[in-house]
Each structure stands twice: as structure tokens, then as C-alpha cells.
């Protein structure tokens, strides 16, 4: 991609985009585009953004189609921006680019309660989606990555996961239809309000998790679910990571499927609580499992809670706390949600590996050894029932430690040794692509490159994401 026009005569690009989207929705004024250059990737890790960028905020898929046709003609790269909450640099333009923001595509198109589905434009945020469902429906949508500023289109593009995947799965399990503007400008509609659909290749699922490299998602139909009426929250504390992790498969084997099972090192719970001006309710032990249960009746809720405590005691749990009231439950969940925030300026990298859930205890042993080997106090937080652990590699006085690359690669290799993955839910983006070859063969990577070339022959979209 040459991007010559954007570098040398940016005003020409601005003028052409204004003809498509209108004067109010295009700018290359640095003070106005500043907020569109970075996402939530750790500052120490994120790549440097190019400032030779133009932000355009199209108001329809047809405008997006024209923008992409223009970008192909002029050989200008385009980067799609959703809520900007991504953590792998996916939305950071590292070359001169048109930054295409979906923020104006923010309407709910249809709430179809009979089919248990909702159709929204891609720029609807998770917060807005939850509010609409809360106010207008008895149905709910389960996927919840940690930041409600994420847009539905961004959640599809990253195949977001989050805490509730234990019971309800990830984004891929709930997307039924997509409207997508392909890199060439063609608009396609994939899938439908169908629960079974086997015709041809599954392009819908190819788009999910494609991180903006195969097309721009403009409309999404999601499956909704009946709400469970009774919810409860439990904290169960242990003295060892291994005991905590071994208890989890035993609970699932017993037929109990909590909404969420989260693992937290006690340092994280205490620091997060302190940051919020409160205290973490548990004091015994050194690590905690946090269970959220949602059941259809009170008996089931209490029965399952008791069963969980009983099973955890067999695995040497030292304490259990049941949050009785909604206020207590909110308090605990707020501390969990805030787990990353107080460390943000002190973390080099919050990793996102997954291993088969039964291998988590051995994986934690490897992390302990690496922590000692590199003298880095690696903290862990995770969606433990999914085998998805976020390990925090701490900074060295605000800088990336000299051994950072080496340590990170050893952690990835530890995960892959158990058949794991470098990234469970955050995606490849720009910060994880270097390690594609740890997980895939050259043949597999070449097939992926070939697929991308079919969709985007001129390499217009999201340059530098997933592959160089
Ligand atoms: C505090 C915090 C907690 C988080 N917790 C979780 C978690 O538990 N689980 C989880 O999965 N993630 C989590 N995330 C990461 C992030 O919220 C998700 O990846 C989210 O899905 C990104 O959505 P977004 O709209 O912000 O996308 P952006 O950051 O704007 O973009 C992400 C990628 O998707 C592409 N993209 C965005 N919109 C579109 C579109 N309409 N069409 C095509 N491509 C598009 C972008 O080009 C980019 O490559 C967390 C982030 C933060 C800051």
C-alpha cells in the first residue's frame, strides 16, 4: 500500500471523503484525531500510531462501500475502529490510514422477541445493547467482555469472550447474521434468523474473529435468551492455586454449570478493592475462586451453592463466603471487574493464554517457575473454567524488562505444550502476531494469508494486523 496521496496531499483525501460522508464527519486535524489513534493496549507494548491519518465517520453501509472503493483506487489503507477497547493494537493505524469509525451506525434495527433475536447496527455499544434489553425485554444477551464501551461490531470482529463463557459460550455462539462491506466495496448479507443453516461454506463464521481484516461489519443479528430469575455469588478461598484449579472440573463434572468461574490471586483482589476504596471480603487463604450462579428457582440456587462449597472443601478450601444480597454481589463483582485497572501503569503485558482446563494446575506450576527464574512477580487472573488465564508480566520501574520477550515466549511455549493458545479471547492484532508460528505451521499460515487475499486483493484493510 503506497498511501502516497494521504502522506503528500492529505487535503485531497479529506475532500474526497467529505463528498461521500459530508463535511461534518471527516477530519485530519490532529487535536480531533488524537482520540482515534490508540486503543486500550498497554502503553509499554502498543505500537506507535501514524499521525498521517484521516478520520471518517460514515452514516451508512453505502457510504462505507464508496469509501472502500475510493481507498482501492487510491491505494490508501483503511483501519476500522469500533469502541477502541481492544488490547492487542488491532485498531491502531501504524501506517498513514483512513480511520473508519463505526460510531454513527448506532441504531437498534429490530428487537424480535418471537425469534429470540435482536438486530443492531455495528456501532451500538455493549452498554447500549444491555440498556435496551433491560428496558424493553425479558430477554438477555450473555457475552460480556470487561469494557461496556466495546461495540457489537468490534465484539464480533474480535470474537469476544469474557466472564460468562462458562455457561453461554463466546460471541461466535450467538451471532446469527451479519451485514458486511467487503474490502472491495461489495455489501453482503451472511446468515439469517436461522438456528440451522448448512448451505455452502460458512462465510458468517469466517467473519467472526477476523479482526477487521476480511470486511467491515455494519449490522449484526444476535441470539437472545430467557433470563434466569435467581442469582448468587460465592467466594471460595484456598491456600494453593493447584487446589483451587482442581476443584473446578470436579464442579462441572457434578453437573453444575455456573454463569462464571473466575480465578484471582489475592494480591489482585486486595489491590483492586483498595483502589476502589473498599476491602475484599475474604482474608483466609491466598487465592480465590469467584462463582456466579444463575438458576431458575431458589432451591436450585441454594442446592448448587452448597454443592460447590462441599466440593471445594474436598479440595482443601479454607473459607467460603456467600453474597446474600444484590448489593453484596455487586460489591464483589465490581472488585473483580476492576482487577486490571490499578496495575495498568505497572504492567508490561497482560497475557491471554488458554490451556485445556484440566491442565491449568500444571500451567500454574510453570508460571511459578518462570516467575522465580526471571524474578518477575507474575500475577494471575482468569476465566478459569475456560482454561483462560491472564498473566500480568510486571514492568521494570515503568519500563519493559530487558528479558520481556524471552519470558513472554517461554510463557507462550508453556501454554502450547499443553495444546493451548497464545490468545484465547483478545485476538492476534499487532501485538501477538509475532508468535503465530508457535501455534501454526507455515502451511496453515499460508492458507490464512490466501483467504485474506481472496477477500482483500489490494490489502486495503487493517494493515499490519494478524500478519505483516
Ligand atoms: C478493561 C478491559 C477488559 C476487557 N475484558 C475482556 C474480556 O473479558 N474478554 C474479551 O474478549 N475482551 C476483553 N477486552 C477487550 C475488548 O473489550 C474486546 O476485544 C472488544 O470486543 C473490542 O471491541 P471494540 O468495539 O472496542 O473494538 P476495537 O478495539 O475498536 O477494535 C478491535 C478490532 O476489531 C476491529 N473492528 C472493530 N469494529 C469492527 C467492525 N465493525 N467491523 C470489522 N472490524 C471491526 C478493529 O479494526 C480491531 O482490529 C477487555 C478490554 C478492556 C479495556
State the CATH number of the domain containing residue 242.
Answer: 3.30.70.2190
**Residue 180 half-sphere exposure, CB side, CA atoms within 13 Å?**
26
Cell of 428: 492476534
| 145 pocket-lining for ligand 1 (C-beta < 6 Å) | yes
| 361 pocket-lining for ligand 1 (C-beta < 6 Å) | no
Are 364 and 391 part of one and the same domain? yes
Distances (CA, A) of 336 to 275, 286, 426: 12, 16, 18
Q: Is residue 144 part of a domain?
A: yes
User: Per-residue DSSP letters for 172-215?
Assistant: GGTEEEEEEE-TTS-EEEEE-S-S---SSS-HHHHHTT-TTSS-
Are 398 and 299 part of one and the same domain? no
| 466 pocket-lining for ligand 1 (C-beta < 6 Å) | no
Q: Do 157 and 429 contact (CB within 8 A), yes or no?
A: no
Instruction: Please list the residues that pair with 119 across neighbouring strands.
Output: 110, 221
CATH number where 125 lies? 3.30.465.10
Are 221 and 269 part of one and the same domain? no
> Three-class SS of residue 123?
coil
Cβ neighbors of 169 (< 8 A, separation 6 or more) are 142
Distance 164 CA to ligand 1 centre (A): 16
Distances (CA, A) of 310 to 130, 247, 254, 266, 328: 34, 10, 11, 22, 22
User: Could you give the residue ranges of the DSSP H alpha helices within 9-60?
Assistant: 10-21, 30-33
Are 213 and 276 part of one and the same domain? no
> Three-class SS of residue 122?
coil
User: For ligand 1, atom 21, which residue shows the shortest CA distance?
Assistant: 155
> Three-class SS of residue 1?
coil
Q: Is residue 37 part of a domain?
A: no
Using CA atoms of 448, 450, 455, 461 in order, give the dihedral in degrees to the nearest 10: 70
Distance 384 CA to ligand 1 centre (A): 21
Are 259 and 195 part of one and the same domain? no
CA angle 38, 217, 468 (to 5 degrees): 50
Sign (positive or negative) of CA dihedral 22, 24, 28, 34: negative
| 382 pocket-lining for ligand 1 (C-beta < 6 Å) | no
CATH number where 378 lies? 3.30.70.2740
- Nearest C-alpha neighbor of 117 from the set 178, 74, 45, 38: 178
Are 400 and 356 part of one and the same domain? yes
| 91 pocket-lining for ligand 1 (C-beta < 6 Å) | yes
The tens digit of pLDDT for each residue in 324-375 reads 788 999 999 999 999 999 998 899 999 999 999 999 999 999 999 999 999 9
**Residue 151 half-sphere exposure, CB side, CA atoms within 13 Å?**
29
**Which residue range is the domain that position 192 belongs to?**
108-226
| 262 pocket-lining for ligand 1 (C-beta < 6 Å) | no
User: For ligand 1, atom 53, which residue shows the shortest CA distance?
Assistant: 85
The tens digit of pLDDT for each residue in 125-160 reads 999 999 999 999 999 999 999 899 999 999 999 999
Cβ neighbors of 56 (< 8 A, separation 6 or more) are 17, 20, 21, 25, 26, 67, 98, 99, 100, 101
Distances (CA, A) of 103 to 16, 56, 57, 106, 124: 20, 10, 7, 6, 8
Q: Is residue 91 part of a domain?
A: no
Cell of 446: 499460508
| Residue 4: per-residue pLDDT | 84
- Nearest C-alpha neighbor of 337 from the set 419, 409, 269, 235: 269
Which residue among 129, 147, 427 has the greatest number of ligand 1 atoms within 8 angstroms of its CB, and so is best to mutate?
147
| 159 pocket-lining for ligand 1 (C-beta < 6 Å) | no
Are 406 and 308 part of one and the same domain? no
Are 212 and 150 part of one and the same domain? yes
Which residue among 57, 102, 104, 150 has the greatest number of ligand 1 atoms within 8 angstroms of its CB, and so is best to mutate?
150
Cβ neighbors of 463 (< 8 A, separation 6 or more) are 1, 77, 79, 94, 95, 97
Q: State which ligand 1 atom lies nearest to the alpha carbon of 102.
A: 41
Q: Is residue 51 part of a domain?
A: no
| 102 pocket-lining for ligand 1 (C-beta < 6 Å) | yes
CA distance 288 to 273: 14
| 162 pocket-lining for ligand 1 (C-beta < 6 Å) | yes
Distance 318 CA to ligand 1 centre (A): 37
Q: Is residue 120 part of a domain?
A: yes
Are 327 and 359 part of one and the same domain? no
| Residue 3: per-residue pLDDT | 80
Q: State which ligand 1 atom lies nearest to the alpha carbon of 39.
A: 29
CA distance 272 to 182: 42
CA-based R_g, the chain, Å? 23
Domains contained in the chain, number: 3
Q: Is residue 352 part of a domain?
A: yes
Q: How far is CA 58 from the centre of its chain?
A: 24
Distance 349 CA to ligand 1 centre (A): 17
Are 333 and 353 part of one and the same domain? no
Q: Is residue 279 part of a domain?
A: yes
Are 128 and 164 part of one and the same domain? yes
Q: Is residue 192 part of a domain?
A: yes
Q: Do 246 and 363 contact (CB within 8 A), yes or no?
A: no
| Residue 1: per-residue pLDDT | 65
Instruction: Please list the residues that pair with 27 across neighbouring strands.
Output: 55
| Residue 146: per-residue pLDDT | 87
Instruction: Give the number of other Cβ atoms within 10 Å of residue 304's Cβ.
Output: 21
| 39 pocket-lining for ligand 1 (C-beta < 6 Å) | yes
Q: How many helices and strands, by DSSP H and E, does the chain display?
A: 16, 19
| 123 pocket-lining for ligand 1 (C-beta < 6 Å) | no
CA distance 417 to 439: 10
Are 314 and 374 part of one and the same domain? no
Q: Phi/psi at 99 (nearest 5 deg)?
A: -95, 115
Query: Where does a domain end: 226, 260, 279?
Result: 226
| 49 pocket-lining for ligand 1 (C-beta < 6 Å) | no
| 85 pocket-lining for ligand 1 (C-beta < 6 Å) | yes
Instruction: Please list the residues that pair with 178 across neighbouring strands.
Output: 190, 220
Residue numbers in the chain where pLDDT is lower than 70: 1
Amino acid at each position: 500500500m503506497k498511501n502516497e496521496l494521504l502522506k503528500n496531499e492529505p487535503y485531497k483525501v479529506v475532500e474526497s471523503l467529505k463528498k461521500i460522508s459530508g463535511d461534518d464527519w471527516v477530519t485530519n486535524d490532529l487535536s480531533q484525531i488524537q482520540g482515534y489513534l490508540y486503543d486500550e493496549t498497554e502503553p509499554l507494548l502498543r505500537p506507535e500510531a501514524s499521525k498521517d491519518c484521516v478520520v471518517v465517520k460514515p452514516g451508512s453501509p453505502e457510504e462505507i462501500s464508496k469509501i472502500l472503493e475510493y481507498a482501492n483506487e487510491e491505494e490508501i489503507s483503511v483501519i476500522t475502529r469500533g469502541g477502541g477497547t481492544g488490547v492487542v493494537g488491532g485498531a491502531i493505524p501504524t501506517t498513514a490510514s483512513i480511520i473508519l469509525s463505526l460510531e454513527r451506525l448506532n441504531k437498534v434495527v429490530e428487537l424480535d422477541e418471537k425469534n429470540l433475536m435482536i438486530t443492531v447496527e455495528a456501532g451500538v455499544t455493549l452498554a447500549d445493547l444491555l440498556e435496551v434489553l433491560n428496558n424493553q425485554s425479558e430477554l438477555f444477551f450473555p457475552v460480556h467482555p470487561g469494557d461496556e464501551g466495546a461495540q457489537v461490531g468490534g465484539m464480533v470482529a474480535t470474537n469476544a469472550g469474557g466472564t460468562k463463557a462458562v455457561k453461554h459460550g463466546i460471541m461466535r455462539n450467538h451471532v446469527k447474521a451479519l451485514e458486511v462491506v467487503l474490502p472491495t466495496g461489495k455489501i453482503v448479507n451472511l446468515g439469517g434468523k436461522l438456528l440451522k443453516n448448512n448451505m455452502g461454506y460458512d462465510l458468517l463464521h469466517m467473519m467472526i474473529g477476523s479482526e477487521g481484516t476480511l470486511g467491515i461489519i455494519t449490522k449484526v443479528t444476535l441470539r437472545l435468551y430467557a433470563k434466569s430469575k435467581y442469582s448468587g455469588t460465592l467466594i471460595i478461598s484456598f491456600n494453593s492455586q493447584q487446589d483451587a484449579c482442581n476443584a473446578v472440573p470436579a464442579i462441572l463434572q457434578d453437573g453444575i454449570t455456573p454463569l462464571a468461574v473466575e480465578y484471582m490471586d489475592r494480591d489482585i483482589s486486595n489491590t483492586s478493592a483498595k483502589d476502589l476504596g473498599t476491602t475484599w471480603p475474604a482474608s483466609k487463604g491466598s487465592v480465590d475462586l469467584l462463582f456466579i450462579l444463575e438458576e431458575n428457582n431458589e432451591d436450585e440456587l441454594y442446592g448448587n451453592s452448597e454443592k460447590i462449597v462441599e466440593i471445594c472443601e474436598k479440595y482443601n478450601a479454607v473459607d467460603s463466603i456467600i453474597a446474600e444480597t444484590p448489593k453484596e454481589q455487586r460489591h464483589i463483582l465490581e472488585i473483580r471487574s476492576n482487577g486490571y485497572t490499578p496495575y495498568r501503569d505497572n504492567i508490561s503485558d497482560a497475557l491471554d493464554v488458554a490451556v485445556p482446563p484440566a491442565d491449568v494446575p500444571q500451567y500454574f506450576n510453570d508460571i511459578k517457575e518462570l516467575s522465580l527464574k526471571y524474578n518477575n512477580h507474575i500475577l494471575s487472573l482468569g476465566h478459569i473454567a475456560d482454561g483462560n488465564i491472564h498473566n500480568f508480566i510486571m514492568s521494570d520501574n515503568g519500563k519493559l524488562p530487558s528479558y520481556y520477550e524471552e519470558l513472554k515466549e517461554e510463557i507462550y511455549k508453556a501454554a502450547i505444550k499443553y495444546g493451548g493458545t497464545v490468545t484465547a479471547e483478545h485476538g492476534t492484532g499487532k501485538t501477538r502476531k509475532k508468535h503465530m508460528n508457535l501455534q501454526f505451521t507455515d502451511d496453515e499460515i499460508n492458507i490464512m494469508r490466501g483467504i485474506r487475499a481472496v477477500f482483500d486483493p489490494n490489502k486495503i484493510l487493517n494493515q499490519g494486523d494478524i500478519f505483516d
